[in-house]
Amino acid sequence: IDYICSDMEKAAEFLPDTRTQQFQYIASKGAALAVISRLRLYAASPWYNGNTRYADWKTADGRNFISQNNDNSKWGVAAVAAKRIIDMGKYALFTTARTERTQELPSNISQAGFPDGAGNIDPYASYKSLFDGSVNAELVPEYIYYCNAIVKENSPQWLATPTALGGANGINICMDLIDSYKMIDGYDIHHSSANYPYPDASHAGDPIDIAYRVSDGYTVNGNVAKVDAYREPRFYATIGYNHCIWPGTSYVGNDPVTNVEVTYYSDGNAGPLPEYPDNYNRTGYTLRKYINQEDNMKGSCRAKTFAVFRYAEILLNYVEALNELEGSYTDEATGITVTRNTEEIKKYFNMIRYRAGMPGITDAELNSRDDMREAIKQERKVEFALEGLRYHDLRRWGDADAAYNTKIIGWNTKARVNNRTGFYTRTIWDSERIQKRVFTQKMYFFPIPQTTLDHNAKLVQNPGW
């Protein structure tokens, strides 16, 4: 860890402070510091900091691979690593302005201007534009380091796109993630408010009947089920669901493949392609995060960028490290001192919440380290959904075995169009081999190939392999 961070510190000395338009994909100083921030956070986390499950896992010369003593100061090191990037003053959460077509905020969400509230921004567009190619990458201050994204065949975009728009329709999202999205007023679906009640199982699939607008260019139509209505803006920016409209407006031919109301019933319009009979949606939910309203695989797709590091991660890294820190920590090199300052936690955590159109954290949560920890885990799960961070978060927290040993649950996509109630029945998907999830402790680390071990006698195989 120290070796990698030392290399990144040296890189930061030589890399430019700012990306130029001609060299958008060249790493900057912020990118090197972002590597340090992520690594220091991982190193402070329970699975790698005092994890006695690995007491017998040692190097060839007898040293523990993982420290057997919990060192709380590592959270201080992680907090400083994130604060250095914040103090650069170069990055900011991306937002777009509210318009007359932006959905009104519920009364319990701060109406102040961002970053003190969500009153002057469009939460859906602010979040969605980060991923769907709506804005040129050089104009997004949230991007710290990014690369080109593939939008052709065999890409996630092609796999997520319904067959009616020329896609393969093969990406399935589990109910576990869907249930993590809150209602529009910030209440958990299991404890929803009277203003935006989450339906009981017997009425989950009832259509809402009256369409409503989330943002300019995004409408929840009247056929959408109550279970998918009045969710937080990030849900609509990320998830494709039954009866969702896929505009696909880039197509200019005569086929009816624009503004398609996609359905995942067994006889719906999102059935598998003949050449890919196993590529069909089992759970009733798919990926919309990286797909623009114009995108149509039968027409054209917007160019996309994929954020390897974005500023939202740095803010949540900082908040998590502060929450876990006991006492204070001072970094000798920078002179930065950090403590579990609840005002700091509140300030930066609420930036993420307000950008998403959600209410801020409560004082009760702030004053409880355990409650705040759960709030941070929940926020990372939703904010970074389908960006490649969740797997590593689950491992570093030691939550992977519990999360990955749960059954895959979705809707009953074997039901036909005339059996709407049957479709909206929670169903365990484990009839196919790939749906039978198993995660054991040895899976926290990948095995080292035997050929690699044969080349270096000092290497030690990872535990359990």
For residue range 206-253, list pLDDT tens digits in order: 999 999 999 998 999 999 999 999 999 999 999 999 999 999 999 998
Indicate whether 221 and 370 sit together in one domain: no
Indicate whether 346 and 316 sit together in one domain: yes
Q: Residue 20 — very low, low, confident or very high, per pLDDT cuts 50/70/90?
A: confident
Q: Checking DSSP bridges between strand 212-215 and strand 218-220, what pairing results, if any?
A: antiparallel
Q: Tokens 């809150």 belong to which residue?
A: 182
Residue 151 has a pLDDT of 86
Query: How far is 4 from 9, CA to CA, in rounded Å?
Result: 9
- Sign of torsion, CA 447 78 26 144? positive
Provide mean pLDDT across the span 290-297: 95
Tell me whether residue 393 is in a domain: no
Indicate whether 281 and 165 sit together in one domain: yes
* Other beta carbons within 10 Å of 42: 19
Q: Of 3-17, 147-161, 208-222, 294-308, which gets the smallest average pLDDT?
A: 147-161
Domain boundary among 387, 417, 446: 387
Is the model more confident about 327 or about 436?
A: 327
319 and 376 Cβ atoms separated by less than 8 Å:
yes
Cis peptide bond prior to 115, omega within 30° of 0: yes
Indicate whether 276 and 327 sit together in one domain: no
Instruction: Report if pTM > 0.85.
Output: yes
239 DSSP β-pair partners? 287
Q: Is the pLDDT of residue 78 over 90?
A: yes
Indicate whether 192 and 293 sit together in one domain: yes
Residue 436 has a pLDDT of 86
Q: Is the pLDDT of residue 105 over 90?
A: yes
Indicate whether 258 and 337 sit together in one domain: no
Q: Which of 362, 360, 376, 395 is nearest to 324 (CA)?
A: 376
Token pair belonging to 145: 């380091």
Indicate whether 271 and 180 sit together in one domain: yes
Query: How far is 180 from 239, CA to CA, in rounded Å?
Result: 12
Residue 39 has a pLDDT of 98
Residue 1 has a pLDDT of 95
Residue 28 has a pLDDT of 95
CATH of the domain at 373: 1.25.40.900
Tell me whether residue 230 is in a domain: yes
Q: Residue 350 — very low, low, confident or very high, per pLDDT cuts 50/70/90?
A: very high
Integer angstrom CA distances of residue 339 from 72, 314, 328, 346, 450:
12, 17, 4, 13, 45
Tell me whether residue 103 is in a domain: no
For residue 36, give the amino acid letter: I
Indicate whether 377 and 420 sit together in one domain: no
Indicate whether 379 and 417 sit together in one domain: no
Tell me whether residue 80 is in a domain: yes
Q: Is the pLDDT of residue 22 over 90?
A: no
Indicate whether 422 and 285 sit together in one domain: yes
Tell me: the pLDDT tens digits for 156-197? 899 999 999 999 988 999 999 999 999 999 999 999 999 999
293 and 249 Cβ atoms separated by less than 8 Å:
yes
Indicate whether 174 and 277 sit together in one domain: yes
Domain boundary among 387, 417, 436: 387
Percentage of the chain exceeding pLDDT 90: 91
Tell me whether residue 443 is in a domain: yes
Burial class from Cβ neighbours inside 10 Å (0-12, 13-18, 19+) for residue 90 reads: middle
DSSP 305-350: EEEEEEHHHHHHHHHHHHHH--SEEE-TTT--EEE--HHHHHHHHH
Query: How far is 393 from 178, CA to CA, in rounded Å?
Result: 18
Residue 166 half-sphere exposure, CB side, CA atoms within 13 Å? 21
Provide mean pLDDT across the span 330-351: 97
Provide mean pLDDT across the span 393-417: 96
For residue 411, give the amino acid letter: W
Residue 166 has a pLDDT of 92
Provide mean pLDDT across the span 290-306: 94
| Count of structural domains, the chain | 2
Tell me whether residue 124 is in a domain: no
Indicate whether 288 and 413 sit together in one domain: yes
Token pair belonging to 96: 């777009």
Q: Which H helix or E strand runs over 287?
A: strand 285-287
Tell me: the pLDDT tens digits for 38-77? 999 999 999 999 999 999 999 999 999 999 999 999 999 9
**End-to-end Cα, the chain, rounded Å:** 24
Range of the domain at 84: 2-91+310-387
67 and 50 Cβ atoms separated by less than 8 Å:
yes
Q: Which H helix or E strand runs over 78?
A: helix 73-88
Name the DSSP class of 80.
H
Tell me whether residue 398 is in a domain: no
Residue 153 has a pLDDT of 81
Provide mean pLDDT across the span 122-137: 96
Tell me whether residue 339 is in a domain: yes
Residue 456 has a pLDDT of 95
Q: Residue 357 — very low, low, confident or very high, per pLDDT cuts 50/70/90?
A: very high
Burial class from Cβ neighbours inside 10 Å (0-12, 13-18, 19+) for residue 457 reads: exposed
Q: Is the pLDDT of residue 434 over 90?
A: no
